[in-house]
Amino acid sequence: MTSSAMAPTPLHMPVKAFYFNTSAHLVRISREKAGTLSEFLQALRECPEGSIFQHSFRTLQEHHFIREGFSNDFAHWALSACNEPSLAEGLASVDVREFTSVAQLRERFVQIVEGFLKRTPAAVNRAAKETFYFCASDIMVIPTSFVAHTLQEFAEGLRGVSVHSIHHHFIEARLRLKLMSNDFSQWLYEDLGLTDAACQLNRIDIYTVTMEDVRKQIIRVVERALS
Amino acid sequence: MEPVESQTRSESAVAESSSRPAETSSASPVRTERRRKPRTWETPPAPVPPPHLDDYKHIVGAAEIDELHFLARELKGKTVKMVNSTAVGGGVAEMLNHLVPLLNEVEVNTHWDVITGGNDFFEVTKAFHNALQGGEYNLTQHARDIFLMNNEQNRQRIQFNEDFIVIHDPQPAPLIRARQESHQRWIWRCHIDLSSPNSEVWGFLRPSVEKYDAAIFSSQSFARQLPIPQYLFYPCIDPLSEKNKDIDDSFVQQVCDEFGIDRSRPIVTQVSRFDRAKDPVGVIQAFKQARKYVDFQLVMAGGGATDDPEGVAVLKEVREAAGDDPDIIILDLPPWCALEINALQRASTIIVQKSVREGFGLTVTEALWKGKPTIAGAVGGIPNQIIHKLTGALVHSVDGCAYQMRYLLTHPDFARQLGQNGREHVKENFLMTTNVRRWLLLLRILQSGAN
C-alpha cells in the first residue's frame, strides 16, 4: 500500500461491495518426515508448497489464540524436539507478512536452517526427540452471509464473521494479491479512498496478539474512519 | 473483493482411602467426615437425544455454524453411508451417534450400517486390532478365511448405493470389494495407531486399503505411507455431552462432598481406566514427591476394574502404592458416571494424564476443554493437544510429572493461562463442530475430484 494524492472514490461510497469470504482447510498428511535436522532441511527443500503454507500461514491460524511463544511449526519443533534455541529463534522470527509467495517463504526457511547447520555441524545428524511430520492444506474458499456496501456495514461484517474469515482476508490474502497488503486495506484504499486507514491496518502486529485482538484493532481503525 | 461460488450408577462406585490417624488430620476439618457412601445410580441413565447444530452457537459462535451450512450447500442431496463394527460402546459409535444426525441436519443424507459376524470373526478382529497397534500375532490361514468370509457376507447383506461410503477401522476394510459405481468415493477412516503394525497383518490388509480414494488418521504419527491421499482428522469431544457440558457448581460440590474431596485444598486428578498404559502408580509416585513441597490431594478416578482381570491387578497395585495416605482418593467408577467425571474434572486444580502409551487421549481433550492446566505424557496423540508450556505441560517421567505438579500449583497465573489456551485449542481443533466441518470439506474435495 502506498499513499496517493488521488483518492480513487469519495469517502464511504464504495464502487464495489466487499464480500466477506472464509477459507476452510483440510490437513493432508504428506510423505516427508524428519528425525534429524539434515532430514528436515532436505524435506524443507522438497516438500510441496502446501506444506510450507500449512506449517507457517495456516498454523498461525490454528493457534490464533496464543499471544506469544508460537510463530510456526518449524520453530516449535526446533526448540521442543531438537533443543536448538538459536535455530528456533531464527525460524520464529520469520514474519509471513513479508512474503507474497510461498516459494520466497520456503527459501527464507531453507537459508536459516542451512546457516545454522554450517555454524553447528554437530547438530546435523543428532536425533530429534520427536519426528517432524510434514502436512499440507487442501483449501476451499466459501462465502459468508456478510456483505458490506458501506463502511458501517464493513464494520458490522468485521464483528460478525469468524476468525477464519479475518485470517483469510487479512493474512492469507497477500499470497493471492501478490502484494504486501491485505483484502481489507485494498478495499479501504481502492474503493473508499481511505489511504490512512488502509496503511494503519498493515501496521497491526499479528505475532504479539490473538486473532480476536487483531479483529478488535481492525474494527477500531474502521470506527475511527467512520467518525 | 468478489463473491465466490460456494465452492444409578452403581454401588460399585466406591471412594477409598484409609483414615488418617487423628493427630495428623488437624490441617483439614473435613477429613474426619469424608468417605461417606457416594451417591450413584443403579443403572445407566437414559441416553440424551443428540443436539442440533444451533445448540452449539453459544459455544463456537453463529458465524462458525453459518459456515457449516455454506459448506454443505453444494452437498445437498448427496448420500453418505458410514459402516463400522459396533452400534454401542466405544468411541467410534459414540462419535457416529452425534455426527450422523448433524450431517443429516445440513441435508447430507447419511446412513449408518453396522457389520455383523460371529464370535470367531470378532475374536479375529480383536487380535488384528491389537496386532496392528504393534502386538505380536501369528496370522494363520484360518484367521484370514474367517475375516474374509464374514466381510463377504456383510458385502452381500449391505447395499452400497450412496455417493460416499465411509468404512471405519480395519474390521470392515475389505468391503471396498463392493465398489461398483465409478462416481462413488470410498473413504477409510482409521481410528487406531498404525505407526508400528504387525507386518503380516498390515501386509494382509494393505491391498484393500490402497483401493480407497482417501484414508483418514487421527494423528500424523499414526499414518502409513500409502499411494492414496491421507487426511488428518483429530478425534473430538461433544461440548454438550454429559461428560463435557457446563454444570452447576452446586453439583460439583455435591460430588466432592460425597466422594470426600476437600475443595478448600488443591486437587490434582487423573481420570483413566486402571491400566498400566496410564501409569497410575507413576502418578502416585509423582504426588508423593511433589507433596513434600506443596499441600494437595490426589484423585485417581477410573474404572475397568470389574470386568478386566488386568484392571483388577492394576487397581490392587494402585491401592498398594497409595498405602494409607488419606490424601489419595481412589474412585472405581462404572462407565456411566459421566456427570460425576465432569464434576471431578471441574473441581480439579490440575488434571494429569501421565500415559506411557496412548491413542489420541480424549481425557486430555476433556480436561483442556474445562480450562484446566493439564500435565500429560508426551505419547500418542497427546502432543497434538498439548503444546508444551503453551496449552499444557508435557512430561516424560515421574520426576517430570512431580516437578510440573509443584510448578503449576505454585504459579497459578501461569497455570490459568495454560488452561485458557488449552480450552481455545480444543475449541479450534477438537470439538464436534470442527469434526462436521472436516467431513463436509472432505466430501466437497472428493466430490470435486469425482466431477
* Placement of cell 503449576 in the chain: B408
C-alpha torsion angle, residues A74, A64, B384, A47 (rounded to 10): -40
For residues A104-132, average pLDDT = 96
Confidence of residue B30 (pLDDT cuts 50, 70, 90): very low
- pLDDT of B165 reads 97
Q: What is the pLDDT of residues B255-300, one digit of tens each?
A: 999 999 999 999 999 999 898 989 999 999 999 999 999 999 999 9
Query: By the CB < 8 Å criterion, does B387 face chain A?
Result: yes
Q: Which of B7, B4, B5, B13 is nearest to B335 (CA)?
A: B13
Query: Does the distance separating the beta carbons of B64 and A162 come in below 8 Å?
Result: yes
Q: What is the pLDDT of residue B180?
A: 82
For B409-431, give the DSSP string. Answer: HH-HHHHHHHHHHHHHHHHHHSB
User: Is residue A174's pLDDT more than 80?
Assistant: yes
| B451 C-beta neighbours (distance < 10 Å), count | 6
Sorted by where each begins, the domain ranges of chain B are 59-236+431-450, 241-429
Strand order in the sheet with B109-114: A132-148, A18-34, B230-232, B214-217, B185-189, B164-168, B79-84, B109-114
| pLDDT tens digit sequence for B151-208 | 999 999 999 999 999 999 999 999 999 998 778 999 999 999 898 999 999 999 999 9
**Of B12, B103, B4, whose CA–CA distance to B433 is shortest?**
B103
Please indicate if any CB of chain B lies within 8 Å of the CB of A202: no
Q: Say whether pLDDT at A33 is over 90.
A: yes
Residue ranges per domain, chain A?
A: 18-22+141-226, 26-136
Question: CB–CB of B302/B340 below 8 Å?
Answer: no
User: How many Å lie between the alpha carbon of A221 and the closest alpha carbon of chain B?
Assistant: 19
Of B14, B155, B30, B131, the C-alpha closest to B83 is B155
Task: List, in sequence order, every residue forming a beta bridge with B248; answer none if it has no partner.
Answer: none
Give the model's pLDDT for residue A178: 82
Question: Rounded CA gap, B84 and B92, in Å?
Answer: 8
User: 491485505: which residue's cell?
Assistant: A182
pLDDT at B122 over 50: yes
- Please give the biggest Cα pair distance in chain B: 78
Domains B59-236+431-450 and B241-429 are alike in CATH topology: yes
Other Cβ atoms within 10 Å of B37 Cβ, number: 10
Over residues B222-246, the pLDDT tens digits come to 999 999 999 999 999 999 999 999 9
Q: Please report residues of B whose CB lies closer than 8 A to that of A28.
A: 229-232
Closest CA to B73 of B125, B108, B114, B42: B108
- pLDDT value, residue B41: 54
Kindly give the pairing relationship between strand B185-189 and strand A18-34: unpaired
pLDDT at residue B24, rounded to an integer: 35
DSSP track, B191-257: -S--SS--HHHHHHHHHHHTTSSEEEESSGGG----SS-EEE----B-TTSTTTS---HHHHHHHHH
Threshold 0.90, pTM exceeds: no
Spatial distance between the Cα atoms of B89 and B80, rounded to a whole number of angstroms: 22
Distance from CA of A207 to the nearest CA of B (A): 15
ipTM of this model? 0.88
As a whole number of angstroms, the distance between CA A138 and CA A27 comes to: 6
Question: Are B441 and A160 a contacting pair at CB < 8 A?
Answer: no
pLDDT at A13 over 80: no
In whole angstroms, give the CA distance from residue B281 to residue A12.
67
Residue spans of alpha helices (H) in chain A = 37-46, 49-53, 59-62, 73-80, 85-92, 102-119, 151-160, 163-167, 173-177, 183-190, 195-202, 211-226
Q: Is the pLDDT score of B302 beyond 90?
A: no
Distant-in-sequence, close-in-space partners of A27: CB < 8 Å, separation ≥ 6: A54, A135, A136, A137, B231, B232
Q: Is A21 in contact with B387 (Cβ distance < 8 A)?
A: no
Instruction: Please list, in sequence order, all residues whose beta carbon lies within 8 angstroms of the beta carbon of residue B108, skipping any fewer than 6 positions away.
Output: B72, B75, B76, B78, B79, B80, B440, B443
Distance CA B92, CA A81 (A): 32
Residue B435: list chain A partners with CB under 8 A.
none
**CATH number for domain B241-429, candidates 2.40.50.100, 3.40.50.1000, 3.40.50.360, 3.40.50.2000:** 3.40.50.2000
CATH superfamily for B59-236+431-450 is Glycogen Phosphorylase B; (3.40.50.2000)
Beta carbon pairs, A and B, within 8 Å: 101
Q: Residue B200 CB: number of other CB atoms within 10 A?
A: 13
Rounded distance between C-alpha atoms, residue B408 and residue B389, angstroms: 11
